Chains A and B, each alone.
Chain A
Amino acid sequence: MKRIYLDNAATTNIDARVLAKMKSFLGASFGNPSSFHSMGKEADNAVEDARKSIANILGCRNFEILFCSGGTESDNMAILGAARANREHGNHLITTKIEHHAVLEPMEHLEKREGFKVSYIGVDKDGIVNPKDIEKALTKKTTLVSVMMANNEIGTIQPIAEIGRVILKWRKKNNTIFPLFHTDACQAAGALDMKVEKLHVDFLTLNASKIYGPKGAGILYARKGTEFEPIIFGGAQEVGKRPGTQNVAGIVGLAKALELSQKNKEKENKRLINLRDYFIGELIKIPGTRLNGDAEKRLPNNVNVSFLDIEGEAMILYLDAKGIFVSSGSACTSRTLDPSHVLMASGAGREAAHSSVRFTLGHDTTKADIDYVLKVLPGIVKKLREISPTKQKYDK
């Protein structure tokens, strides 16, 4: 049977060129970068070359790139680390209602256990944060603002540079270095510009497993001079901010993956946007189908729709049976049994959230793949609506 993978926002395959780069560090070149001998030096060189390559893409200094295990750890390092280190300056943090749990949960932890106050800023009905709402929430006690660059569920692109300018203006007016500004760029790293000076960010999170690199490798960009505490202890690696032997193969793979995806992004974005808009155009012809998230300010590979009267998990499994792999914001697939917080914050309503299906295209996705999905979907929609007691409203 055909296997059509449309869950590239969950994770991507590893690009063959990335894998080729990693191989020697999983084999003969297994040294520890901290060892004093030449095998150690060989590994250390690979890590430092990767750091340089990534710093070049972000337009920052090499030592501002810190390697870690991925997006979740990087988010935690920035949020827990910066909030705790700057505690004497204030206990107020700002984030949005549509962040990844890797941002929301450390925020909630600081709120519940460490006496911080967190403002969760809402989004408009298209899933976009208004920089003015961030501005209004700023106080003299605000030490950190964290806003994602692009949303993982509905793909909406947030105005990071604009928020960055709002923060710079506030700092200047109040003659302070606070708040610091963090962005989670995991979903955006393959499609958007990562230059930190243009984004005006102090911390940036990205990882390899969303950009055709390996799982278990990520970075935190931390601007020179920004105070943050490590969240784990036990060594001098990564200037003591993230101790532990580096994942050399993962780091090498991450650097190569970022290099490739940044180099090809204009061409690939154009191809994907064409494919995405064709797909969305055809999908919304199916009665009772709604697009979730802004139609234009969204990642080139993200399609998120609700098929009303059909619960998302049922749709996933019927598609799975046809060899099509997607995901949903339905409660049934969340393990917590809550529908997607992103769709709820965007005002989709619980019913539409339960019915949402996310298709995320990738480098290997072709028009023929999309046409296959469009061929099998109407039959599935018909069958699942036929057994749905709520359907009459939309069908006729």
Chain B
Amino acid sequence: MTNKPDLKKGDESWLYSEEVKDHFYNPRNVMKDEMIDDYKADGVGEVGSPACGDVMRMWIQVKDNKIADCKWRTFGCASAIASTSVLSEMVIGMSIDKAKKLKPQDIVDRLAGLPKVKIHCSVLGDQALRAAINDWENKK
């Protein structure tokens, strides 16, 4: 593709990669209203606050120490929404041990980079996931 902005890690640009746009406009694994009452979550985690501009909540189902399913909701900007969406795709089928080790950079890489200014504040998905895993561990 020509004229495509270069969106490597730490780019100063405000433009989003095609991967970010895809997840932002077509978010995957969202916890829908109609499923929330019947969804049997083994762990739920939430991070952020509306005052800070970002809130993420994750629901996980665990089977044989693996994340069997993952649903989420996010209040936040495009990168916050896209990063939670892509994370949900990454972790389904992943072992708990591996999931606990995920870092913000792993999410950024899967999104083909994010504007530098966005990384610190909007990539909270790994923390929400860890909170959900802790919740599951505490309930065990």
Contacts and interface: CB of A to CB of B under 8 A. Distances in A.
Interface string B70-85: 0011111110110000
B53 interface: yes
B91 to A, nearest CB: 17
Contacts of B46: 389
A79 B75 CA distance: 40
A262 B89 CA distance: 56
A332 B77 contact: yes
B78 A388 contact: no
Contact of B78 (A314, A337, A389): A314
Contact of A389 (B51, B73, B118): B73
A339 interface: yes
B81 A332 contact: no
A312 B54 CA distance: 11
Contacts of B55: 388-390
Interface in A118-162: none
Nearest to B57: A389
A333 to B, nearest CB: 8
A335 interface: yes
Contacts of B93: none
A309 interface: yes
Contact of A317 (B24, B27, B52, B121): B24
A311 B77 contact: yes
A4 interface: no
Interface in B90-140: 117-118, 121-122
Contact of B33 (A335, A337, A386): A386
Interface residues of A, number: 26
Interface string B12-54: 0000000000001101001011000000000000100011111
Contact of B53 (A331, A386, A388): A331
Contacts of A335: 117
Interface residues of B, number: 28
Contacts of A333: 77
A314 B77 CA distance: 5
A205 B91 CA distance: 55
Contact of B121 (A337, A349, A350, A389): A337
B67 interface: no
Interface in A328-384: 330-333, 335, 337, 339, 349-351, 354
Nearest to B50: A351
B48 to A, nearest CB: 9
A337 B122 CA distance: 11
Given A311-B76, A337-B121, A387-B81, A330 B53 contact: yes
A17 B61 CA distance: 65
Contacts of B57: 389
| Most chain B CB neighbours (cut-off 10 Å) among A335, A386, A387, A391 | A387
B36 to A, nearest CB: 10
B56 interface: yes
Given A311-B75, A337-B121, A388-B73, 14 more contacts: A311-B53, A311-B54, A312-B77, A314-B24, A318-B25, A330-B77, A332-B121, A386-B32, A387-B74, A388-B55, A388-B74, A390-B50, A390-B55, A391-B75
21 contacts: A309-B50, A310-B75, A311-B75, A311-B77, A312-B77, A314-B78, A318-B25, A330-B53, A332-B76, A332-B118, A333-B77, A337-B117, A349-B51, A351-B50, A354-B53, A387-B73, A388-B55, A388-B74, A389-B73, A390-B55, A391-B75
Interface of B: 24-25, 27, 30, 32-33, 46, 50-57, 72-78, 80-81, 117-118, 121-122
- The 6 lowest CB-CB distance pairs between A and B, nearest first, are A332-B77, A313-B77, A389-B73, A389-B57, A350-B51, A351-B50
